[in-house]
Amino acid sequence: MQVDSVMQQAADLRAGACSSVELTQSYLARIRQLDGTLNSLITVTEDIALAQAQAADARLAAGSAGPLTGIPIVHKDVFCTRGVRTSCGSRMLDNFIAPYDATVVSRLQAAGCVMLGKANMDEFAMGSSNETSFYGPVHNPWSVDAAPGGSSGGSAVAVAARLCAAATGSDTGGSVRQPAALTGITGLKPTYGRCSRWGMVAFASSLDQAGILAHSAQDVAALLQVIAGFDAQDSTCAEQPVPDYAAGLAGDLRGLRIGLPQEFFTDGLDAAVAAVVQQAAQVYESLGATLVEVSLPTSQASIPAYYVIALAEAASNLSRYDGVRFGHRSAQADDLAALYAHSRAEGFGTEVKRRIMLGTYVLSEGYYDAYYVQAQKVRQLIANDFQRVLQEVDLLLGPVTPFASCALGAWQQDPVQMYLGDVYTVPVSLAGLPALSHPAGCAQHGMPVGVQLIGNYWAEPRLLQAAHQYQGVTDWHQQAPDLSWIG
């Protein structure tokens, strides 16, 4: 089985050490062997993958291949894929066949990537453990009883278990960074507007951003090079030049100033996670960076602000699913009002219904000013705090999650604890900043722990460079789970 990085696979393909068809077939065989237990994929697109692999081999033979030609990847099932089911992990869209490709998908396809399938996810990206999916929970490859984090848990598990070379994800409040941290891989949430949202089914439109999950910062840089850039079909996509991310990986970290926000190291942080973050900080210091203690006082208000804004936008976005135009239609309706009510009641899961109800409440008359408007004001204060601190330092370093792992089922009876698990990731999302999670150690029980690097707007090159230099002197990103427990 080929388990090398994207960049190593690309080099092997160009050298003729293997073909894309052979690489694709090996991944498909591994999916058949392992994914019945892991449940990381909703749809496996074997015929499409083999056809795309054959086309990639033709391009390689003709000498017209690009850097990613022939690389097998997986797309989170939040991205529309023409002719293939796009379910968002929901019964509501279980029968929806997308008529077009999302921009992220079409750009990676044009670059020659091979689509192995669509990854499982929390329903409509609402969750932090990948247990709210209509298709069942995803299992962390490091432990059968552990959740992989969400909502991009399927993408993260597919990469961590070596079922694909890399995967796309989406990050609204931490949905790329959290599963990357909990499965021992690298995940990037770019600056809001860096990548097109066109064809990515919306949860919270002012927060959603396409992201990447892979083994290393170098691999992430290669995929970001393809998906980043302006898209006229997305009014939230910024007209910013796209730098050469691979070229920016070189160079040492001397002179880099890394801030450690004191609010990220409070009593709520698990001691094992805190130790890993501190060890990572010491590695960065040994590479030439200077560590500076900083403060982000308004970040402590991020959870209530985020959940007011995100749920309000979710209630608005999900109002389109009415059983009329597309998606699940109830057979129990006698009139139009009943059709709406029954279709939505049957099509949405418990967590999605909870968020729609709360979002509708904060937008209702008498509560809009008291909750939604105030949350937007807090959001601006949080963004201002980050800007103040990022004038003093180049990057921020901290934990991704307060814990090293979460047992499957632990949050289903107490969803508030799931929301509180986003405490270190949602401030970044509210501010629209880029952030990267990379593996940096293990907790006492052997589960991987990630650390989070946060940069200023459009600072993806600096994030990737720092992580790449860290990964040049450590091997946490090369660690693989023992999957012998899957019989």
176 close to 212: Cβ distance less than 8 angstroms = yes
Mean pLDDT of 332-348: 95
Condensed to tens digits (0 to 9), the pLDDT of residues 420-451 reads: 789 999 999 999 999 999 999 999 789 999 99
344 close to 392: Cβ distance less than 8 angstroms = no
Condensed to tens digits (0 to 9), the pLDDT of residues 98-152 reads: 999 999 999 999 999 999 999 999 999 999 999 999 999 999 999 989 999 999 9
- Which of the residues 128, 133, 175, 302 is marked catalytic? 175
- Which of the residues 40, 76, 87, 128 is marked catalytic? 76
**pLDDT band for position 415 (50/70/90)?**
confident
Please confirm, yes or no, whether 330 is among the known catalytic residues. Answer: no
Global model pTM greater than 0.95: yes
Please confirm, yes or no, whether 151 is among the known catalytic residues. Answer: yes
User: Which of 3.40.50.261, 3.30.870.10, 3.90.1300.10, 3.40.30.10 is the CATH number of 6-231+245-254+463-478?
Assistant: 3.90.1300.10
Q: What's the pLDDT at 420? A: 79
Q: What's the pLDDT at 405? A: 86
- Which of the residues 106, 151, 343, 429 is marked catalytic? 151
Mean pLDDT of 213-239: 98
Contacts of 77 (CB under 8 A, 6+ apart): 42, 43, 85, 86, 87, 88, 89, 118, 119, 120, 121, 154
pLDDT over 50 at 411, yes or no? yes
Condensed to tens digits (0 to 9), the pLDDT of residues 165-210 reads: 999 999 999 999 999 999 999 999 999 999 999 999 999 999 999 9
Please confirm, yes or no, whether 286 is among the known catalytic residues. Answer: no
Mean pLDDT of 333-354: 95
H or E segment at 398? strand 395-399
**pLDDT band for position 330 (50/70/90)?**
very high
Condensed to tens digits (0 to 9), the pLDDT of residues 277-290 reads: 999 999 999 999 99
Distance from chain centroid for Cα 99: 24
151: preceding bond cis by omega (within 30 degrees): yes
Q: Which of 168, 201, 204 is nearest to 98 (CA)?
A: 201
Q: What's the pLDDT at 1? A: 41
